[in-house]
Chains A and B, each alone.
Chain A
Amino acid sequence: DQQVKQNSPSLSVQEGRISILNCDYTNSMFDYFLWYKKYPAEGPTFLISISSIKDKNEDGRFTVFLNKSAKHLSLHIVPSQPGDSAVYFCAASGKGQGAQKLVFGQGTRLTINP
């Protein structure tokens, strides 16, 4: 039972354009969402997060949007740069006892083409 889904295994975007990565979740108890970036042979690094009380959070070139009614979040990268080529994971955590754990999606491999 995949509670967090990233339905696009890969995405290719031209340098300078917008990259949009999508993530869907099924558990309505999730109240905090995160995006991680992972280069080969390295651990994931935290990018940006959003609480369920917000619908948007921005940090430089990265913006995360949350649509609670659709149980959908997206990560926008503008403008895309070659160094953004990596695997991106979305993750979610819930309230109460589950709050300390993260549930990850399968990942989307983003390739930025020059």
Chain B
Amino acid sequence: DVKVTQSSRYLVKRTGEKVFLECVQDMDHENMFWYRQDPGLGLRLIYFSYDVKMKEKGDIPEGYSVSREKKERFSLILESASTNQTSMYLCASSLRQPREQFFGPGTRLTVL
């Protein structure tokens, strides 16, 4: 069974703080992804990584950065949190083939 874990289920931060969200997968997947989910907008891709130290921008990368130093770990960084980054953040991983992605439980981030 694929397991994707995220460091926190709920997080409350203040505007301007630096925020780290961590994701770990235990199935040796090459690809890892960060999404945010907002009502009426579905899941939107922030960044993804197809190998260690490799990253590509998704559809909404502004205000975010990522780090992938080890294959199993993919971190999302909010350099200076803003209230419009209040959202549900979902991490996922996949093999190159097939393309099914496996998701973690999500982190509900609130920025005050």
Which A residues are within 8 Å of any B CB, using their own CB?
A: 4, 6, 9, 32, 34, 36, 41-46, 49, 89, 91, 93, 99-107
Q: Name the B residues within 8 Å of A4 (CB-CB).
A: 42
CB < 8 Å neighbour of A41 from B45, B58, B105: B105
B42 x A99 contact (CB < 8 A): no
- A-B contacts, 30 listed (Cβ < 8 Å): A9-B40, A34-B100, A36-B103, A41-B105, A41-B106, A43-B4, A43-B92, A43-B104, A43-B105, A43-B106, A44-B103, A45-B103, A46-B101, A46-B102, A49-B98, A100-B48, A100-B96, A100-B99, A101-B33, A101-B45, A101-B58, A102-B45, A102-B101, A103-B45, A104-B35, A104-B42, A104-B44, A105-B42, A106-B41, A106-B42
List the B residue with the shortest CB-CB distance to A49.
B100
B94 contacts the other chain (Cβ, under 8 Å)?
A: yes
List the A residue with the shortest CB-CB distance to B105.
A43
Contact with A along B5-40 (1 / 0, CB 8 A): 000010000000000000000000001010100001
Which B residues are within 8 Å of any A CB, using their own CB?
A: 4, 9, 31, 33, 35, 40-45, 48, 50, 58, 90, 92, 94, 96, 98-106, 108
Q: Whole-angstrom distance between the alpha carbons of A103 and B108 in the complex?
A: 21
A42 x B99 contact (CB < 8 A): no
